[in-house]
Structure 1
Amino acid sequence: MSKKYYRDLKEYLISCGINIVESFPEEENYKEPLSFDTIINQLEAIAEFHKKTMGISGLNVGLLENNTGKKIERFKVYIKKLKRDIKRYENEKAKNRFEELILQKAPEYLDRAEKCIRIIYDNGYYKLIERSMKRNEVCLGNTYIDNIRKNEMVNIRDIRKCCYNMVEFDTIHFLGKLKKRHNKLDFKAAISEFCRLEELPLSSEIFIRAVLSYPVEFMKYCERYRYGKKEWNEDEYAKKLLGVIEKDDDSLL
């Protein structure tokens, strides 16, 4: 564990052998859709970042935000609020196409969401958190190809999303982006490879698959409608939600 005090995060990362860059050159192998080799190379870059950076000491309190556990708590809040919405739309009758869609489709998505949460907790979630906190694991936050690459060194553009968190979430971010782009990847094999690189147990594989299977896009659109976060009318909200439903990927569980 590093005992030195660092003035800022950039100084700490440079001391770990991380190269901070302003941009990346155009490279053929980083053009979309990504090849399997590029995806594996990206997982290697993420794993190397973790090995180099974990263990920063408590002397550096305030250097990094602690996001451990926040995403799963947010997932649970989504479920509670959607249940309230369904009950309200049933009692007051659906007022528009969006609310009708929620009454038709939400039970299926709630079932999937609750299954994901159940698997996460039944699979030793608290032990994963304990490991992460004991090792002072650092996540980059944005692990897509536009922010981290590896050649002779690990190179990073933007470090503003760096935080304390379980290392599993960095690959969740990367693979989640690929899943959203409908990349024809064997996601289970990629998750297994990441866990091999990180020397993580089977419980980590199951955790990553459960988080990636959670219907987060559906939940986000329900929240946007609930709080009027977008300047859309009811028909636009319904159209957007239908797009999410049509593009919905299969669960990895």
Structure 2
Amino acid sequence: MEILVDAKEWEVLSSYAIIDYAVSNGFKSIIKINKTKSGNLYDKSSDGLLILTSEYGKENFHLTNKKNILTMAGMLAHFHNCTEGFIQPQGIKTKVYWGKRAEKYRMLTSKLEKFKSEIKDKENLTPFEEYVMPYIDELLVRAKNSQKVFKSKEYLKLLEESMKKREVCINSASSSTAVVRCGKPLIVKVFDMGYNLCIEDLALLIKHSIEDSKDKNVYKDILKRYRSIRKVDSNLDKIIKAYVSFPYYSLKTIKKYMECKKDDEFYIDKLKRAYSLEKISNIMEADNS
């Protein structure tokens, strides 16, 4: 079937190369990009790029139950094994994410500190600012605890090792990453793939699984399943927890509000949802008590 994709030409070429490498190493749970009638990997239309791929369903592979979560964990480990060592073909650009998420989190932490400074002595708070006040210190503690880990020697060493191994990630591990095909997950979100720390993918899966299933205990189950297929040193648990526990969506909502300073009720509602979910996925809590 032919589908319209939200991707640039070079992203299609890069994804095709990674998929081809993964499949050649035995990974099958991913869409393939086939050549079109014109002999290209995509056709252009007025709406964007069209790619040709096999038929697949539209039902997302949801991370709301343990069976699906563990299936996804195993598939992710297999993908990481099959893509490690990928060398981008000559003339093809591959996305590079090493260290970018940690830097994004650092910038969000700085934004929250700035927000706190702006409103701490303010006389007339907006409804959103008033709502956020009781949560600011807690969110800052969580964010800074993660930042300490991202500045550690262990994290920097992990980055270096990942670069040497040329690890490749999906850079997406949520209920929209894959669809159901024959009862199993098929990865369809492929245009963000690129070089990165594999444990970032793993941490994203853990975060989304905890928040979707409302079960903090799936953390250990996911690690056990992933480790049964791909080696992850036990001393990396602290780094994984730092990714999972960072209150990304809460801080992102506050940042968005700072940029517009309006639609208070909309942002209050958005922050309520983000905060309640990220309260569940704070798995560094036990370490900091």
Please, what TM-score do these two structures have when normalized by structure 2? 0.72
Q: Call closer, same or farther: CA 1:62–1:95 in 2, change over 3 Å.
A: farther
Q: Structure 1 residues 203, 236: CA separation in 2 closer, same or farther (over 3 Å shift)?
A: same
Structure with the higher helix share, 1 or 2: 1
Quick one: which amino acid aligns to residue 211 of structure 1? Y
From 42, 48, 55, the counterpart of 2:72: 42
* Matches for 1:94-243 after TM superposition, within 5 Å: 94-122=124-152, 124-144=154-174, 146-148=176-178, 155-184=186-215, 185-228=217-260, 233-243=263-273
The amino acid across from 2:206 in the alignment is L
Q: What is the alpha-carbon distance in structure 1 between the residues aligned to residue 253 and residue 200 of structure 2?
A: 22
Sequence identity percentage: 19
Distance 1:197 1:131, change over 3 A: same
Please tell me the residue identity of whatever aligns with 2:237: E
Q: Find out whether 1:86 has 2:116 as its counterpart.
A: yes
218-227 or 89-98, larger mean C-alpha shift: 89-98
Q: Is the 8 A contact 2:247 2:275 kept in 1?
A: no
| TM superposition shift of 1:54 | 1.4
Whole-Å separation in 1 of the counterparts to 2:209 and 2:96: 26
SS class of match (2:78): helix
Query: What amino acid is the match of 2:68?
Result: T
Residues 147, 156 of structure 1: 8 Å contact kept:
yes
Match of 2:22 in 1: 16
For structure 2, which runs of at least 5 residues remain unmatched after alignment? 1-12, 33-52, 285-289
- Give, in whole Å, the separation in 2 of the partners of 1:161 and 1:207: 22
> Using a 3 Å threshold, how does the CA distance of structure 1 residues 145 and 251 change in structure 2: closer, same or farther?
closer
Match of 1:249 in 2: 280
TM-score in terms of structure 1 length: 0.82
Question: Displacement of 1:111 after TM fit?
Answer: 0.8
Conserved 8 A contact 2:171-2:194: yes
The letter of the residue matching 1:166 is L
Count of residues in correspondence between the two structures: 242
Q: Secondary structure at the match of 2:197?
A: coil
> What is the CA-CA distance between 1:130 and the residue it aligns to?
0.7
Q: Distance in 2 between matches of 1:61 and 1:168?
A: 28
- Contiguous gaps of at least 5 residues in structure 1: 1-6
Matching of residue 52 in structure 1 with residue 61 in structure 2: no
Cα RMSD between the aligned structures? 3.0
Higher RCO by CA contacts (8 Å cutoff, separation 6 or greater): 1
